[in-house]
Every structure is written in C-alpha cells, then in structure tokens.
Copies of this chain bind each other. A is one copy, B any other.
Amino acid sequence: MSSAYLIGAQRRTGAASFTGIEAATGKALDGDFAITTADDIAQACALAGAAFDAYRETTPEARAAFLDAIAAALEARAEAIVARAMLESGLPQGRLNGELGRTTGQLRLFAKVLREGDWAGAIIEPALPERQPLPRPDLRARQIAVGPVAVFGASNFPLAFSVAGGDTASALAAGCPVVVKAHPAHPGTSLLAGEAIAEAVAACGLPEGVFSLIQGPGNDIGTALVANPHIKAVGFTGSRGGGLALIAVAASRLEPIPVYAEMSSINPVLLFPAALAARAEDLGRAYVGSLSLFAGQFCTNPGVVVALDSPDLDRFLGAASEALKGVAPQVMLTGGIAAAYARGIETLSGADGVAVLAAGPDGDAQCGAARLLAVDADDLLSNPALTHEVFGPSSLVIRCKDAEQIVAVLEGLEGQLTATLHIDEADYPLAAPLLPILERKVGRILANGWPTGVEVSRSMVHGGPFPATSDPRTTSVGAMAIHRFLRPVCYQALPDALLPDALKAGNPLGLPRRQFD
C-alpha cells in the first residue's frame, strides 16, 4: 500500500502512486507514495481556509510554541529524516545534519521574532477631538496574515527550503495556514517532515487545516494548488521556468495573488587588483571550494567572476585550475539536474570566445563534473546568453580590459541574489563607484568571503531583482521574511470591545506599539 499524503489530520491515498529515486543510482527506492487527487488538493485548501480566522488570531506566544514544537518533532525524527534525505538527494550526511540544524534554527528564530512582537506593526493614533479644521478619529493599525499560503519544496535543500523550511516557518509565524507541495525528488523526506508538523499541530491543539502536505510528480498538482481561491500567496524556490509558470497561474486567477519565487542567479564575484596581488592562489583555491560545494547546487553559487585581466588574475586561474582538477565528480540531486548541467556546460563551452580552463574528472550520468571556463568581456557583452545560470559545479571567469568594461559587464547583468568583492584597502577607490550598480542589481553585497553561506538572521536578504526573485521587496531567508505574508489593516474609532487584542487599550498581548499623538 502507498504511503499516504496529509490532508489536515487525515492520511489519504489516491489510486495512483510514484516512487522516490535514489540520486546516486537513478533507481527506484523501496516504497511508493500516493499522488494527491484533485479532490484532496481542494480539500486541503478548504481546510486551510476554514482554519485561517482561528489560526491567525492565536496569540503570538501560541504560534511561537507551535514553531518550537515543530523543531522538536523534527529533531525527534532526525535520524530517519537524514537517512532518507541522503538517499533521495545524494547529499552527504554531514551536510544534511547541518541543514536540519538550519531548519530547526529557522523555526526557532521565527518563534523569537513572534515573542518580540515588532512584526505586528501596531500603531496607535489617539483621537484628537479638538483638532482644527477637523477632529481626528481614533486610528490604529496592525499587520494581519494574508491567508492560506502554498509552499513548494525546493530540490536543492530537501529540509531548509522544503516542507518545514523557511517559507513554511515564516508563513506559519505570520498566521497563515500552509499547504506544502513536496518536491517530487524527496517524497519520503517530505513525508517525515510533514508528519513532524502534523504532530505539532495536534499537540498544540490547532485547527487541522493549519497544515497539509500534497505529493506527486508533474505540474498539474502545483497548478491546481496555486489556482485554488483559498490560497492567497505562494512561496517557491526553483527554476526560472517553474517560477514563471506559477506566476502566470497566480496572475490569471479571478483574484491575482503574489508569488514569492526565487529562481535564477549567477552571483558575480569581483576580484580587485590589490586583493589579487596579495593572495591570488588562496583566492583561486577558495573559489573552487565555493563553486564546487555540494556539486554547486546552491542558489548562491559563484557562477561568474569579473576581474581585470592581469598576471595576478593568471595566478588566480592557475591555482583555481589546479584545485578544480582535483574535485571529484559528485552525485547531483536528480538525473534531470545532472543532464541539464551537462547540456548547459556543453552549450557554454561551445560558445564563441569561451575557453575551458580546467575540468574535474567525469563520473557516471548521475554526477556533475566541475568546470572552469573563461571569456573576454568583449565576447560576453556581444552574447548575453553566456550569463544564463548553469546549475552545478561550474563557473565562468570574465576578463575585462579596464574599469569601464567592468561597469559594462555589471550593468548588463540581470538581477542577482548576491555580489561578492575581494578587496584590500588599496582597492576601495576602484570598488566604491561599483557599489551603486551592485545595489541596483543584488540583494546582498559581501566582502572577502564567498556567497554560498547564507546566515539566518535579522538583516539577511536572500532576495534580489528579477530574475533572482519575482519580488525584490522581500527576502526568503531571515527574520524579514515574515513580512511577505502580512498586510496592514486600519481600525477607525472602533470600540475597545471590538478591537483585536493587539490594539486594545490595555495591550493584553504586551506588544511593542508606536503611538503618535
């Protein structure tokens, strides 16, 4: 019998099923998973809609305790989750243990944010009955949850950007019920995480519709989910094509809704002359470490390097080439991703002016072999397709003739998640005029590090202009993500008895509130 999907508190199965695939072999794993039926998708959404008013008005403390309970329930299943995720994703145990810690850390960060209360945006403007020429009525505002949210699990973070990942944590924190569409590459991992959430829903006495998990391959399930009128926002991390398809569904609804899609980024790294002169070889080796980390399957993978052509750049490239030749082929997340990577490398390698500087050893069809490529800025500027994302352990070095050409390359880039500067003090005059360009292009600018570590914190911005994301006004990592799922409501001259607790005279929730007299 197939493993069931989760519609509120119920375990359901449909007539059809699918299996997990072992990333390392491409072979079906034991056990199969029921594919959610159209009726059950509708039922999950209806339950979410029915749960919404009650769930969004639970106290911040109640939702914080719920998030803490999810974290604990995940930890109780840690061994099983990591073991299954290793099979389904091909990622190693250490990485998945770390990712589970990141996932529970995210949940607990949002619990902390809820307890602090700034998220509620409570503002009070008392009545001014004597004001001339007109009195001011009592006016108060707060942020409320937008409604049930659809979350799509990502392929490359089977835990932290998946069933109990950042989108789910921030939506649940905001007061939104969540319906997760599991990524079809990790049905078993997803079900284990989903059961942890369902257990926390029951333990905390919340309405069952607060969480459902739907499963299945293909696009129809996701389309039906986003089209359902109960759903009021969407969180997605994945390909540009996938994101744009969901955005089109959301925009064509009778009531269009926002889609927070994180899609495509090549994360330029800028190498400045003094930094290169001081440590070209160290930078070259560290660069290869970042670009090949977990087969380069990060949204923040350093896909392009921009630098002035120079002997120091050659030193950097020499060290990077040497290091890259030693990068063993790594199992990629899915056979589809491995095949797309191979095609992307083939296209890029064959483009005019692109040279393959170094190649890691090839593995079998499930694996990605590292590649280091280079191109002159002149050739790149005449062929913008060279800056399209190739998801995997490769990177393209762009040699520029002068500072003007660096500006042209940067201005030609689409929106990005990150930009990285390797700089010494002597480089500041060259770097300073580039910062305004980078601010327009990216969500995070970092110095003397690598973009592949994304801190989960208060000031993190994992976002950026299109196509890095569909909405640069937000982030999908860090505390600010809660604002994606909130909207303001104003209350004018409402009697205290009818005001929400967040705005009552006695401040029963103890929220921080801004008052303007």
Q: Which residues of A contact B (CB under 8 A)?
A: 52-53, 57, 123-125, 134, 136-137, 139-141, 144, 146-147, 247, 251, 255-256, 258, 414-415, 421, 423, 425, 428, 431-432, 435-436, 439-440, 442-449, 453, 455, 457-461, 463, 465-467, 470-475, 480, 483, 486-495, 497-498, 514, 516
Question: Given A146-B473, A494-B445, does the pair A516, B457 have CB atoms closer than 8 Å?
Answer: yes
Question: Given A137-B455, A458-B125, does the pair A445, B491 have CB atoms closer than 8 Å?
Answer: yes
9 contacts between A and B (CB under 8 A): A141-B458, A258-B471, A425-B495, A444-B491, A446-B493, A447-B495, A455-B492, A463-B488, A473-B486
Structural contact, B415 and A255, CB atoms closer than 8 A: yes
Residue in contact with A459 in the complex, picked from B134, B141, B466, B497, CB distance below 8 Å = B141
A244 nearest CB neighbor, chain B only: B256
Copies in the complex: 2
18 further contact pairs, Cβ within 8 A, besides A256-B470, A421-B494, A435-B498: A53-B440, A123-B458, A125-B458, A137-B446, A147-B440, A247-B251, A258-B471, A428-B495, A443-B487, A443-B489, A444-B490, A444-B491, A444-B492, A445-B490, A448-B493, A461-B490, A473-B483, A480-B488
Residues of B within 8 A of A440 (CB): 52-53, 147
A495–B472 Cα gap in the complex (Å)? 25
Residues of B within 8 A of A431 (CB): 498
Residues of B within 8 A of A472 (CB): 146, 487
Task: Please give the distance in Å from A362's CB to the nearest CB on chain B.
Answer: 33
Residues of B within 8 A of A251 (CB): 247, 251
Structural contact, A490 and B447, CB atoms closer than 8 A: no
Task: Please give the distance in Å from A267's CB to the nearest CB on chain B.
Answer: 13
A483 nearest CB neighbor, chain B only: B473
Structural contact, A442 and B489, CB atoms closer than 8 A: yes
Tell me which of A440, A474, A490 has the highest count of chain B C-beta atoms within 10 A of its own C-beta.
A490
Question: Given A139-B459, A457-B516, does the pair A449, B498 have CB atoms closer than 8 Å?
Answer: no
Task: Please give the distance in Å from A365's CB to the nearest CB on chain B.
Answer: 34
Question: Given A457-B125, A498-B435, does the pair A489, B255 have CB atoms closer than 8 Å?
Answer: no
Question: Given A445-B492, A494-B447, does the pair A439, B139 have CB atoms closer than 8 Å?
Answer: no
Task: Please give the distance in Å from A324's CB to the nearest CB on chain B.
Answer: 25
Structural contact, A465 and B435, CB atoms closer than 8 A: no
Residue in contact with A255 in the complex, picked from B57, B123, B466, CB distance below 8 Å = B466
Residues of B within 8 A of A421 (CB): 494, 498
Structural contact, A137 and B460, CB atoms closer than 8 A: no
Tell me which of A125, A136, A139, A470 has the highest count of chain B C-beta atoms within 10 A of its own C-beta.
A139
A473 nearest CB neighbor, chain B only: B487
A495 nearest CB neighbor, chain B only: B447
Question: Given A125-B459, A436-B53, A461-B141, does the pair A449, B492 have CB atoms closer than 8 Å?
Answer: yes
A255–B416 Cα gap in the complex (Å)? 13
Structural contact, A137 and B449, CB atoms closer than 8 A: yes
A428–B499 Cα gap in the complex (Å)? 11
A467–B467 Cα gap in the complex (Å)? 27
A435–B457 Cα gap in the complex (Å)? 35
Residues of B within 8 A of A137 (CB): 446, 449, 455
Tell me which of A140, A146, A458 has the highest count of chain B C-beta atoms within 10 A of its own C-beta.
A458
Residues of B within 8 A of A465 (CB): 255
Residues of B within 8 A of A415 (CB): 255
A6–B304 Cα gap in the complex (Å)? 42
Residue in contact with A497 in the complex, picked from B428, B436, B467, B474, CB distance below 8 Å = B428
Residue in contact with A489 in the complex, picked from B414, B439, B448, B458, CB distance below 8 Å = B439
Residues of B within 8 A of A445 (CB): 489-492, 494
Task: Please give the distance in Å from A146's CB to the nearest CB on chain B.
Answer: 7
A432–B497 Cα gap in the complex (Å)? 9
A487–B465 Cα gap in the complex (Å)? 9
Structural contact, A458 and B516, CB atoms closer than 8 A: yes
A372–B475 Cα gap in the complex (Å)? 48
Structural contact, A446 and B256, CB atoms closer than 8 A: no
A485 nearest CB neighbor, chain B only: B473
